[in-house]
Amino acid sequence: MCLLRLDMNGNAVMNYAYLDEGLDFILSLGARAMLGLGFMPSLLAKDAQARSMRGSLVSQPKEISHWRELIKRLMAHFVERYGSRTVALWLFSPWLSPDFIDMGLCGREEYAQVYSASYHAIRDALPNALIVGPGSTSFAAVWPWFLDMCRQWDCMPDILSFRAFATVVEEEEDGMKLVGNNESFPFAVSGDEDYLAHMTRQIRSVLRAEGLADLPLILEEWSNNIWQRDLCNDTCYKSAYLFKNILENNGTLGAMGYFALNDRLDEIPPAREPFQGGFGLFTQDGIPKSACLALERLACPQYHSERMEAADGELHIRASLAPQDVWLIRIGR
C-alpha cells in the first residue's frame, strides 16, 4: 500500500491513494469494509527482516507512540473522506492475530501492549468504531489467554472472530511429521466432517463460561484446507463443501468470510494453467468456479432450504430456487 514513506528530503509522508482505491471499489459494491491494521510499515518496524510469505512485515513497532500516531492519522483520513457514519459501519482489526506469537512475532506481554495501543487509538479517533478480533485459528491455545488479556488491558472487541481451514496440528493426526517454516504450516486435514460446526460450538461454550455469550461471533476467513494447489478447489466437491457448511452454520454465526475471492494471491507464484487448485472463487483469469456458482445460488433472493434428519444418520438438505429447480444434498455423518 506504500502507506508511509520518506520524501526526497527525508520527511515521513502518508500516502492514501492505493488504500482509497481499494475502499472505493468495496463501497461501490454496496459492501462494508473490514480493515486489519496488521502489517507494519518498514519505517516503523522493530525488525525490518521479519517478512511473511507475502513479503509484508510482521513486526512490532520500534516506538508504540509512532504506531498510535499512524493509526490516528489513518482514522482521521477515513472520517474526512467517507464520513463518520459510514466508517462506523466498518470493522477494524487492531493488529495481527495472536497466532503470530508462536511464530516468533513477539512475547505475550509485547503483543498485549501493541494490541491495546492499537485498540485505544482506533477508539480515541472514532468512539463508536466496530472493533473485531482475534481472528485466530488456534482456538484452544489462544482464546482463553486472549480474553483474559482483553479484560486486563480494557480492549475487548465488539465482535469476536476466528478462522477455520479444517486443519489440525500434526500431533493430532497419525503422528505425521510435516514441515513448518515461513512458507508452510505443519498442519494436516482434519478427519472431522463437521469441523466447522464443532469448532463454533466449542467457542460458544467458552464464551458462555466467560460471560461473553452476547458478543457477536463471525468467521472472518474459512475454507476446506490451507493448500493452494489442491485440485478439489476447482471442482464440484468444493461447492458441496460450501453448501453444507453455510447451511449448517449461518444461523449461529454473524458472518462467514470465505477465503479467497480469486486465485491471484501473492503467497505463491502464479501457475500457467487456468485451473490449478487455488483458493479462489474465480481463476486468476476471472473464470467462475463451481464454488462461485454455489455462493451465487445461496445469495439468490428466491433461495430457501429445508434441513431433514434421515433415519440412517445422514443429514439431508433440500435446497430450492424455484419449483422446477430442486436439489437434495446428502451429507454423511
Distance CA 303, CA 297 (A): 7
Beta strand 315-322 with 325-331 is antiparallel
Q: What is the pLDDT of residues 188-222, one digit of tens each?
A: 788 899 999 999 999 999 999 999 999 999 999 99
Query: Do residues 181 and 270 both lie within one domain?
Result: yes
Residue 134: cis peptide before it, omega within 30 degrees of 0: yes
Query: Do residues 237 and 332 both lie within one domain?
Result: no
Give the number of domains in the chain.
2
Task: With beta carbons less than 8 A apart as the criterion, state whether 318 and 328 touch.
Answer: yes
288 DSSP 8-state letter: B
Query: Do residues 230 and 184 both lie within one domain?
Result: yes
Match 463437521 to its residue by C-alpha cell: 194
Distance CA 109, CA 68 (A): 18
Please choose, from the candidates 146, 163, 150, 154, the residue with its C-alpha nearest in 3D space to the C-alpha of residue 256. Answer: 163
Match 486472549 to its residue by C-alpha cell: 146
Residue 326's pLDDT is 47
Query: Do residues 223 and 327 both lie within one domain?
Result: no
Residue 33: cis peptide before it, omega within 30 degrees of 0: no
Task: With beta carbons less than 8 A apart as the criterion, state whether 74 and 1 touch.
Answer: no
**Structural domain span for residue 12:** 4-302
CATH number assigned to the domain comprising residue 169:
3.20.20.80
Strand 304-309: give its sheet, edge to edge: 304-309, 315-322, 325-331
Q: How far is CA 66 from CA 44, 62, 69, 241, in A?
A: 7, 8, 5, 44
Write out residues in the chain with pLDDT < 50, as ranges.
172-173, 178-179, 182-183, 323-324, 326, 328-329, 331-333
Query: Do residues 179 and 313 both lie within one domain?
Result: no
Cell of 245: 457448511
Query: Do residues 52 and 154 both lie within one domain?
Result: yes
Query: Do residues 263 and 296 both lie within one domain?
Result: yes
Task: With beta carbons less than 8 A apart as the criterion, state whether 237 and 324 touch.
Answer: no
Angle (CA) 94-95-101 rounded to 5° is 145
First to last CA, the chain: 45
Q: What is the pLDDT of residues 280-317, one digit of tens each?
A: 999 999 999 999 998 988 887 666 666 555 555 555 55
Distance CA 10, CA 97 (A): 32
Query: Do residues 178 and 314 both lie within one domain?
Result: no
Query: Do residues 254 and 314 both lie within one domain?
Result: no
Query: Do residues 273 and 328 both lie within one domain?
Result: no
Cell of 153: 488491558
Query: Do residues 259 and 199 both lie within one domain?
Result: yes
Query: Do residues 106 and 208 both lie within one domain?
Result: yes
